[in-house]
Amino acid sequence: MKPFVFSTTAQIVFRAGASSEIGGLVRRKLGERVLFVTDPGLRKLGLCDPALSSLAAAGIEATVFDKVEADPSLATVQSATDAAKAGGATGVIGFGGGSSLDVAKLVALLCGSGEDIDGAWGVGNAKGPRLPLVLVPTTAGTGSEMTPVSIITVGGDEKRGVSSPIILPDIAVLDPDLTLALPAHITAATGIDAMVHAIEAYTSRSANNNPLSKMLARQALQLLGANIEKAVFDGKDREARGAMLLGSMLAGQAFANSPVAAVHALAYPIGGTFHIPHGLSNALVLPHVLRFNAPAAVAAYAEIAADAFPDLAPEQSSQERCAAFIDRLAALSASLGLQPRLRDVGISEEHLSGMARDAMKQTRLLINNPRDVNEADALSIYKAAW
Ligand SMILES: [Zn+2]
């Protein structure tokens, strides 16, 4: 049997309304003073209020840091870390989308160990220990509550990451009610992102791809495939919201241990240069990367096709099921209202060659792809997506 290592969050609490009881859930783990990391939008919506009241009721003093932006900067990490130190934080709560969770991970690390961020970038370089950490996702997509990674923007557009099991949280609190008010276009884009995590984890050529990740990826695709349209078209459907949050978490567990590949590699230049949200960037290239991969991944795509779309007939050949799977993913994005082509999001044709060059820099992702991708391949994928 192939050896592997599987790391994940130690405790998962999944319950509608759990965030309004968070004080009791985290008191013993986080201690008496926490830094509560979130973004200004959630704060204004009042989504944090039940959690903050619950912390107060449990005798936990919370300092709120609500300045996390999309694609959070190193300056934000630093001022949140300063706020945690000034408040004498004994623990950290990250509450929000992937950005707030990523910032909270690094605040816990930097406050707990006193180490310098410059020594922590990269894989396995964080020293720790970190402060106790609880993450509460409010979108169903990034799976950040299950991943050992934090991505931060340094300087202009450069992104750097810290990847280490040390920054996996102690507890993930999954409360589907927090996602009830998510707008349809965010539900759609983040939901497709979660599906991509599952697909790329399942087919990852990573040496650490493993039976647990594969099992989780399939279960994730079943939940996400059956519920994404319901959650987009009726945001108040609590069952569907719960299934999406759970599916996103399972996909996060899968790809945290069997990393993603060329869909993400080709999505990064779209997000980085044109500031297109991560989920939409993935959706734009998804069918085209999968079509490129098909010669090397036909059996794997045929295996998971009916997980996402149960009506895809098993009596079809693998070839036919694989092709139908890719077509259905493209049709799904369109039916959810996501723009189908790169030109629809303001990218002109002359940008494509620069994007292909940029995508080649994502070597840590490209090595996981089921089929080798060179710059000319990336360019023809972008042209097909344009
Ligand atoms: Zn993603």
Q: How far is the CA of 52 from the centre of ligand 1 (A)?
A: 29
Whether 13 has a pLDDT exceeding 80, the answer reads yes
Alpha carbon of 383 to ligand 1 centroid (Å): 22
Measure the CA–CA gap between 187 and 358, rounded to whole angstroms. 28
Nearest alpha carbon to residue 278 among 366, 188, 382: 188
pTM of the model: 0.96
Tally of CA atoms within 13 A in the half-sphere of 30 that contains its CB? 31
- Per-residue pLDDT tens over the stretch 225-245: 999 999 999 999 999 999 999
Distance CA 37, CA 101 (A): 8
Query: Ligand 1 center to residue 194 CA distance, Å?
Result: 7
Per DSSP, the three-state class of 209 is coil
More confident residue, 260 or 71: 260
Please choose, from the candidates 248, 215, 258, the residue with its C-alpha nearest in 3D space to the C-alpha of residue 143.
Answer: 248
* 203 CA from centroid of ligand 1 (Å): 15
Q: What is the pLDDT of residue 222?
A: 98
Positive or negative, the Cα torsion across 367, 372, 373, 374?
positive
Question: What single DSSP character describes residue 95?
Answer: E
**Digit-coded pLDDT (tens) for 185-223:** 999 999 999 999 999 999 999 999 999 999 999 999 999
Q: What tens digit of pLDDT does each residue of 306-345 get?
A: 999 999 988 889 999 999 999 999 999 999 999 999 999 9
Q: What is the pLDDT of residue 209?
A: 98
Residue 144 C-alpha to ligand 1 middle, in angstroms? 9
Whole-number Å distance between alpha carbons of 71 and 157: 9
What pLDDT, on a 0 to 100 scale, did the predictor assign at position 274? Answer: 87
